[in-house]
């Protein structure tokens, strides 16, 4: 294999930087000079923004993995292994995995080989006979088995998972083989969030037989799939996004560490103003009430509608996790001093607001409104939602255990 390979990093089609793979499996990231010198440059990530608002241009080389911002673009767990196997790439060698999956990344970013090679040098001869290098080139960060899909042209509707090339404007989240009813659970919680006033994308539950192009080798699946409209795809083209693991410059394995909800809130307060703060508090309180213990750094994102200014992205991955983790009432991150949902009271919320430099009145008023709307919407709609009866009963038992539920009702 040659000593050096280069990937172009493109944002909205514009080459802004390079990733260079060196001997010894090291990767170096560098911005292009014209991007550095552009006063109106589009934002790649807040992790490259210094305390004065300038661009951080010095990056340390990484070994075997790519820098954190790019590592977080790649899928994790079973989904990574599945796509890497299909592409014929070692799932741990992130530079080459990014090479193969970089045509349809989250947001408005894409990765292209600088020399135009279809395959990384030295990789082609190592491919297994049944590998399809161009298959499933799109990458969706996360662990759950999910694929980007196109709307079917058939009158009966449905979605199509493309066999190769870029995906479409929907994400298809397939049923879990480990936990029953996850798509129905997420659909119900997302719908409830919308009723309460949160910003959520369009969602649909869809029968598996209405999805064409279902990948091979994923095992037997039961139940329905959840289709979620991609908020990073519009009629005018892709819109750039980044999750908070990227914002804080941490690797995916640290998505449950290295930051708290107060840390996230401080960034949102600084970058998005009162509207973003209120939406953040709504989701935080709502997640505690439904028992969502998986709102880690990658489940919060920023979006850049004008390519430069951050806003809180629409909500996603709102799931009640308590039906799957019995007796677990801890959140993914510390609020400020505690991770216990059963300790999330107004005092903790005020403390978190102070640590995050958020307006206390806005935080408490928003939390109060959220609790009251939740109580009304949940009691009215829970029998109409496609969530399992056991999960409904567990939310019924859990929500009153959250102090905010009692204090702000």
Active site residues: 294
DSSP 258: S
Q: What are phi and psi of 16, to 5 degrees?
A: -120, -15
The CA–CA distances, whole Å, from 153 to 161, 167, 209, 210, 244 equal 13, 15, 15, 12, 36
Q: What are phi and psi of 336, to 5 degrees?
A: -150, -60
Token pair of 380 as six digits: 């009215």
Q: How far, in Å, CA of 111 to CA of 8, rounded?
A: 6
Q: How far, in Å, CA of 253 to CA of 147, rounded?
A: 21
Residue closest to 399 by CA, chosen among 384, 380, 383, 379: 379
Q: How far, in Å, CA of 394 to CA of 189, rounded?
A: 14
Identify any residues that bridge with 203 across adjacent strands, giving them in sequence order. 228
Q: How far, in Å, CA of 141 to CA of 58, rounded?
A: 26
The CA–CA distances, whole Å, from 84 to 77, 101, 117 equal 11, 9, 18
Q: How far, in Å, CA of 246 to CA of 254, rounded?
A: 11
Buried b (16+ CB within 10 A) or exposed e, 15-39: ebbebbbeeebebbbebeeebeeee
């Amino acid at each position: 294999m040659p000593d050096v390979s280069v990937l172009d990093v493109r944002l909205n089609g514009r080459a802004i930087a390079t990733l260079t793979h060196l001997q010894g499996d090291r990767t170096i990231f560098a911005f292009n000079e014209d991007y550095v010198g552009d006063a109106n440059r589009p934002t790649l990530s807040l992790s490259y923004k210094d305390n004065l608002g300038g661009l951080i241009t010095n990056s340390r080389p990484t070994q075997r993995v790519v820098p954190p911002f790019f590592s977080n673009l790649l899928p994790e767990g079973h989904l990574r292994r599945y796509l890497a196997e299909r592409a014929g790439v070692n799932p741990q060698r992130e530079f080459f995995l990014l090479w193969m999956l970089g045509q349809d990344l989250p947001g408005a970013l894409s990765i292209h080989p600088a020399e135009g090679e279809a395959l990384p040098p030295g990789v082609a001869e190592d491919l297994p006979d049944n590998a399809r290098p161009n298959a499933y080139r799109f990458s969706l960060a996360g662990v759950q088995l999910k694929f980007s899909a196109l709307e079917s042209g058939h009158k009966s509707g449905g979605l199509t998972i493309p066999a190769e090339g870029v995906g479409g404007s929907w994400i298809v989240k397939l049923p879990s083989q480990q936990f029953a009813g996850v798509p129905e659970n997420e659909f119900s919680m997302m719908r409830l969030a919308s009723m309460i006033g949160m910003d959520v994308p369009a969602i649909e539950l869809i029968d598996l037989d209405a999805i064409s192009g279902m990948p091979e080798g994923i095992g037997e699946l039961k139940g329905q799939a959840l289709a979620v409209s991609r908020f990073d795809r519009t009629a005018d083209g892709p819109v750039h996004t980044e999750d908070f693991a990227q914002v804080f410059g941490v690797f995916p394995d640290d998505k449950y560490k290295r930051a708290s909800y107060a840390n996230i809130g401080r960034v949102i307060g600084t970058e998005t103003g009162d509207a973003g703060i209120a939406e953040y508090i709504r989701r935080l309180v709502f997640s505690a009430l439904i028992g969502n213990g998986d709102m880690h750094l990658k489940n919060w994102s920023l979006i850049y509608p004008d390519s430069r200014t951050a806003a809180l992205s629409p909500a996603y991955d709102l799931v009640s996790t308590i039906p799957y983790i019995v007796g677990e009432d801890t959140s993914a991150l510390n609020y400020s001093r505690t991770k216990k949902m059963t300790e999330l009271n107004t005092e903790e919320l005020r403390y978190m607001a102070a640590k995050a430099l958020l307006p206390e009145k806005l935080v408490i008023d928003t939390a109060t409104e959220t609790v009251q709307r939740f109580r009304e919407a949940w009691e009215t709609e829970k029998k109409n939602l496609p969530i399992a009866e056991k999960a409904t009963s567990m939310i019924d038992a859990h929500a009153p255990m959250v102090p905010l539920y009692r204090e702000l009702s």
